[in-house]
Amino acid sequence: MFSTFGWPEALIILTVVLIVFGVGKLPQVGGALGKGIREFRRGKAGLIEEMEEEEEEEEEAPKRKKPAKKLTEGEAKTKQS
């Protein structure tokens, strides 16, 4: 229904945050929020990197040849005949 987030909504949220946390705690809250966002971005980047590496490994896997199977004496005699 409401798909936009504009200045009036941001002003209301800021007012509520100031009332709940107060002016003195606002820098601490902002710093903690910033650290949380940075950690989230680092984790997201690491996850994307791991997924790309797995995709590359899966693409390389079919290209590798399987090692030849050693024949037992009975199988070798059968093939020679």
pTM of the model: 0.49
- Say which range, 26-30, 32-36, 60-64, has the weakest mean pLDDT: 60-64
Distance CA 33, CA 22 (A): 16
User: Is the pLDDT assigned to residue 29 strictly greater than 90?
Assistant: no
Q: What residues does each domain of the chain span?
A: 21-61
pLDDT digits (tens, 9 = 90+) for 40-59: 999 999 999 999 998 888 88
Cα–Cα dist 77/73, whole Å: 6
